Amino acid sequence: MATALHFIEQSLSMLENLRQTNPPTLRTIRAAGSNFGLHFWGEALFNAMWPGLAHLEIDPGLASTVIQLQIWDSATTGVKPITPPFSLEDYQRNHRWAMIDDGRVLIMHIPWSHIVYAYDRGTCQGLFWSPDPGSLTIYERAAPLQTLFHWALNERGWHILHAAAIGVEQGGALLVGNTGAGKSSTALACLQHPGLRYLSDDKCLATLTPGPQAFGIFSAAKLKGDMLDALPQFQHLVGGYDELTKGGKSLVYLYPEYRERMVTSFPIRFFLIANITRRSQAALRPASSSDVLKVLGPSTLHWLPGAEESSMRFMAALSRQLPAYWLDLALDAEQNIAAVATALDGER
C-alpha cells in the first residue's frame, strides 16, 4: 500500500505533467496572516469555489506565497489520483469519512462525494480533488477548501469555528448556535444596519494570540427558503440551492456587492448564543462558558476532521476568556440587530 507522503508526491507529479499542456488558473489570497497560492485546474472548479474566497485576493507580487493548494477534478483534466492509502478500519473508525494523520501528511476521503483532501505539513502543499465539479454541494461552495484551511492554519494558531461573526472593526461578537438557530439570518440582517459590519454567517477563523481575534475567511452565506423570502434584497445574489438534502437552503454570494458592509477581522469581545423564540422583542441574558461550549463544540467538530483534541481545547479556552449572553431572537430581524448593537456598546 502507498504511503501518505507517496500519495502527495505522486499527485503533484501528475499535475506537474499536466501543467505543460493545461496550466492552471492561479489566484493569491491572504488569510489570517498567511499567503496562499490557489491553483485551479479547470474553469468549472474555479467558478464553483473562487466566489467564496475572492474578497481575500491580493497582488501575487506583493509578498511571497507560503502555502500552495492544488485544486482539480477528473472530469475536466482527465487526471485521477492514485488510490489513497486507507484501510476498511479507517472508514469504520470515523463512521463518515476516512482520515490519516501520520504526523506530517494528512489525508481525508469523503465516501459519498468521493472528494479527497491532502496536506503536507513539511512542504505546505495541499490537494483537493473531486471527480466532477458539477457534484459539489452548496456547502462545499459556501466554505471552499475548508478542510485544507483548517489543517494549514491550525498549526499557526488559527481554528475554524461554526459561528457567525458581526460587529465593527474595533470589536465584535461570535454568534453561535446549532443549524437553524438563526445565525445566518441575524448576521445577514446586520448588513442593513449602518453601525454594524458582517464578518461571517456560519464559519470563521479565530485565534487567542495575542488576544481573541476573528477572521472572515468565507464571503458566501446560506439562507433557508423562508429567510430568503424575508430578506428579498439577497435574492439576486443567489448562486445555487441545496440539491443534496433538499433542505431548502440557498447560496448567496455577498462579495463584491456588500464589500463596504463587510469586515475581514476584528477583536472578539463576547459570545452570543442564538435562541429562537416567538417574542415581539429580542432580549439578552447572561450565559456561562459551559453554555457556549455545549453549542459551539459539537457543531464545530462535526465539520472538522483531525485535530479534534486541540480544537476542543481552543474552544474551551476561548469561551473561558470571554463574556457570553443568550440572545433570545424576536420575529423582527431589526429587533435582533438592535439587541446586538446594544450588547456591543456595553462591551466596548
Q: What's the CA dihedral at 304, 255, 69, 122 to 10 degrees?
A: -60
Same domain for 222 and 138: no
Out of 102, 129, 154, pick the residue that ends a domain. Answer: 154
Q: Which amino acid is at 79?
A: V
- Please check whether residues 135 and 73 belong to one and the same domain: yes
Total domains in the fold of the chain: 2
Note down pLDDT in tens along the chain; length 348 residues. 579 999 999 999 999 999 988 999 999 999 999 999 999 999 999 999 999 999 999 998 877 878 999 999 999 999 999 999 988 788 776 667 888 999 999 999 988 889 999 999 999 999 999 999 988 989 899 999 999 999 999 989 999 999 999 999 999 999 998 777 778 888 988 888 888 999 999 899 999 999 999 999 999 998 877 777 777 888 889 888 877 665 678 899 999 999 999 999 999 999 999 988 877 889 899 999 999 999 999 888 877 766 678 899 999 999 999 999 999 988 888 888 888 888 888 765
Same domain, 180 and 292: yes
- Rounded Cα distance, 346 and 348, in Å: 6
Q: Which grid cell is 87?
A: 484501510
In CATH, what number is assigned to the domain containing residue 197?
3.40.50
Q: Following DSSP, what letter does each residue of 188-202 receive, concatenated?
A: HHGGG-TT-EEEESS
Are 342 and 209 within one domain? yes
Q: Are residues 170 and 316 in the same domain?
A: yes
Residues 78 and 219 reside in one and the same domain? no
Q: How many whole angstroms separate alpha carbon 318 and alpha carbon 160?
A: 13
Are residue 200 and residue 234 in the same domain, yes or no? yes
Residue 150's closest CA among 313, 326, 324, 301?
301
Rounded Cα gap, residues 149 and 126, in angstroms? 9
Which of 114, 139, 154 is the last residue before a domain boundary? Answer: 154
- CA 190 – CA 258 distance, rounded (Å): 11
* Residue 43, C-alpha cell as written in the block: 474553469
212 and 252 part of one domain: yes
Q: Which of 315, 82, 76 is nearest to 205 (CA)?
A: 315
Q: Kindly state whether residues 241 and 336 are assigned to the same domain.
A: yes
Q: Write the single-letter amino acid at 107.
A: I
Residues 20 and 140 in one domain: yes
Same structural domain for residues 169 and 45?
no
Task: Say yes or no: 45 and 74 in one domain.
Answer: yes
- Among residues 104, 126, 154, the one where a domain terminates is 154
Range of the domain at 319: 159-347
Cα 202 versus chain centre, distance: 7
